[in-house]
Structure 1
Amino acid sequence: MKLKTSITILGGCLLIFLFIMLPIVLSIQEKKEDIVASYTGSAFTLTDVNNEPITEKSFQGPLTAIFFGFTNCPDICPMTLSNLDQVIEKLDDSEKKNLKVFFVSIDPERDNPQIIKDYLNSFKSKIYGITGDPQKVFLLSKSWGVLSEKIFNEDGGYLINHSSSILLLDKGKYIDRISHHENLDNIFKIVKNYL
């Protein structure tokens, strides 16, 4: 009799818990959808590594990966770009044609087109580099939910603390973001899934 009563009480508690938690879970999902809807990007005109103008039309391909970083980044940027480079290498030829990867410098004061070109040439795969007017770069990064701030040291040099996710777009529309903490296999699976 005691076991049956305990099970009934536990079952009742579980139902109450679910009744209380369901609106919270739905609210969290709704907020997530609102946040995703706010990642719309913006119109822009910046410069590619060949000093040619580049605009938001370049992001209109079947699948676009965008990473905001800087060439003086000591760890996260080269690691993330290396992972993207390896992902591209693992794709078959038709999949490679359907994926474009962009590196947008959040440090345009130091990262001119030639510096970015030299930096990206260290990777095997084609990664498109973007730089330009600092205010325009800031507005573009903000439109995709990317935050950044300069951290100065005693000698006047600086690093940049920044959001370091890989943004995925389908025909220019935000579809997902991949954490830089993901390992290569997971990044590959996520990208492959969208291809």
Structure 2
Amino acid sequence: MKNRLLLLLVLVFTLILSACGKKEIENAVDWPINDFTATTQQNKPLGLKDLKGKVWVSAFIFTSCADVCPPMTSNMVKLQTKLKEENLKDVELVSFSVDPTVDTPEVLTRYANQFGVNFKNWTFLTGYSQEFIEKFAGQNFKTIVKKPEEGNQVIHQTFLYLVDKDGHIKKTYSGFKNVPYEEIINDIKTLE
């Protein structure tokens, strides 16, 4: 009887300890990102290997966007501020241009400066073909990017993507309206 009680206590204690373990990300996905090569706003090469070992949040934007990209970029600036306030130093922000022929490194730098971007942990990417970014976005981020035959407004969605240290997308969030900053921060802490 004593052994059974002791065994039961050990089992209960073990269950309690395991419940105190690492928190899971709610509604997580696991989408691996294929390797890529791009050019930063500083005209330097950057690829997936450069982001391995870091948690990052990414978005798709373009500098001549007439509607959603400026608010999305402002929202990422707010996220950057919140990351600093939470002392989350090893988190990167990555903005992929969906209009790479227009968005040269110089154009991306001017665009980012308009929003007061701190380039310490935020990189803007270009230097690939339109065909590449359309295929890359669809295959890896499960999102649409399409530059129409006429006009200069590229079709794309307004999500933010949380990527873990292994280069796997773990969750998507609204990046345009009602951005869930607290949820993003908590999910980042779970991956740290």
Fold shared by both chains (TM-score > 0.5): yes
1:91 Cα deviation from its structure 2 partner: 3.4
Q: Which has the higher helix share?
A: 1
1:94 Cα deviation from its structure 2 partner: 6.1
The 1-side partners of 2:134 and 2:127 are apart by 10
Aligned match of 1:162: 156
1:58 Cα deviation from its structure 2 partner: 3.1
User: Which residues in structure 2 correspond to 1:173-188 (within 5 Å)?
Assistant: 173-184=168-179, 186=180, 188=181
User: Which residues in structure 2 correspond to 1:56-75 (within 5 Å)?
Assistant: 56-75=48-67
User: TM-score under structure 1 normalisation?
Assistant: 0.71
Contact 1:168 1:174 in 2 (8 A): yes
Post-superposition CA distance 1:58-82 (Å, at most 9, x none): 3324420010111111121110110
Q: Does 1:136 align with 2:132?
A: yes
Selected match of 1:78 from 70, 78, 88: 70
| Cα distance change, pair 137–121 in 1 and its aligned pair in 2 (3 A) | same
Aligned length, in residue pairs: 156
1:50 Cα deviation from its structure 2 partner: 1.5
Runs of 4+, deviation exceeding 6 Å:
none
| Cα distance change, pair 74–191 in 1 and its aligned pair in 2 (3 A) | same
The 1-side partners of 2:156 and 2:82 are apart by 28
What is the RMSD computed on CA atoms of the aligned residues?
2.2
1:117 Cα deviation from its structure 2 partner: 1.1
Post-superposition CA distance 1:93-116 (Å, at most 9, x none): 563413211110010111111101
Post-superposition CA distance 1:2-50 (Å, at most 9, x none): xxxxxxxxxxxxxxxxxxxxxxxxxxxxxx87xx34x221111111112
Any unmatched runs of 5+ in structure 2? 1-26
Residue identity over aligned pairs, in percent, reads 26
Aligned match of 1:147: 144
Any unmatched runs of 5+ in structure 1? 1-31
1:150 Cα deviation from its structure 2 partner: 2.3
| Cα distance change, pair 164–181 in 1 and its aligned pair in 2 (3 A) | closer
1:180 Cα deviation from its structure 2 partner: 2.8
